[in-house]
Amino acid sequence: MLSSRTLFDEIYRNDEAYRLFCSIAADGEDQGGWENERIQALTGDPVLAPKIGRHGADERKHGRIFTQLLHRRGLEKVDVPPKADYCMLLERQGIGLSHERLTSDVPLTDREIITYLAHSRVTEQRASEQMRQLVRAYGGNPELAKAMRMISADEDNHLAYCHEELLRLTAMGHGPYIRHALEHTARGEIRTHRDVGLAVLRAMGRILRWPLWQRALLTAGVQALYAYDLTVGRRRMIRLRMPAKRNALGR
């Protein structure tokens, strides 16, 4: 039976596939860590800046965890294929703040802070869902279970923080721009998630020598999720609600 658990188990059991999987995850987390570090440095809000720093530190920690998982198998990271580089593909669509902007020394404006938070709110929604999927897939794996649960809990905290901060800024009169930023980010993220998913499937299919029927079925699944997200699922990525866990990154 073809299920997410059997697919992830197949990836785990193959060194080359596992190496690519962990490399993509580690690079994405490291990139997120760097971005948050730069955003913290350019943020003058004494309450928000430490939370952004905590977010960045968590992402760096996640990058180290995925790298350590590779080292335990005697493996090193590989370069991430450009078509599977989620962060860079988002930036090329104008989602979030650019590398060029983050390497400057000019403090961020209120709108740029909102752009950052909207980007984080949408991408952390995806990260939270994906980590829960990995917890289900690897929950019985003694090597991976603890790491997946730790990262999943952090991603849930990041998502809660984004909701709370965007709602705070909505109350300050920034609601129209926040709605615009969330809509723009969600549309771009949905396209990028599909494109990255297809690129990773192609790479894994070559490594694991999947038969044509399996590749076709998995490709159809990615396209079906894209269609769902574009029509109905997008709502979960743009709505704001006060989280049950308040001040998740201020502790």
Nearest to 98 by CA among 112, 80, 110: 112
Looking at residues 85-104, what average pLDDT do you find?
A: 95
pLDDT at 4: 84
pLDDT at 135: 96
Looking at residues 168-172, what average pLDDT do you find?
A: 96
- C-alpha 44: how far from its chain's center? 25
| Residue 170 and residue 180 in contact, taking contact as beta carbons nearer than 8 Å | no
Distances (CA, A) of 120 to 60, 98, 216: 15, 14, 32
8-state DSSP, 82? G
Looking at residues 48-65, what average pLDDT do you find?
A: 97
Q: Quick: pLDDT tens for 16-39.
A: 999 999 999 999 999 999 999 999
Tell me the three state secondary structure of residue 246. coil
Q: What is the mean pLDDT of the chain?
A: 95
pLDDT at position 176 over 90: yes
First to last CA, the chain: 44
Tell me which of 2-6, 11-15, 16-20, 150-154 is least confident.
Answer: 2-6
Q: How confident is the model at residue 80 (pLDDT cuts 50, 70, 90)?
A: very high
pLDDT at position 89 over 60: yes
**Single-letter amino acid code for the residue at 70:** L
pLDDT at 251: 62
pLDDT at position 123 over 70: yes
pLDDT at position 111 over 70: yes
DSSP 88-100: HHHHHTT-S--HH
What is 4-238's CATH topology?
A: Ferritin (1.20.1260)
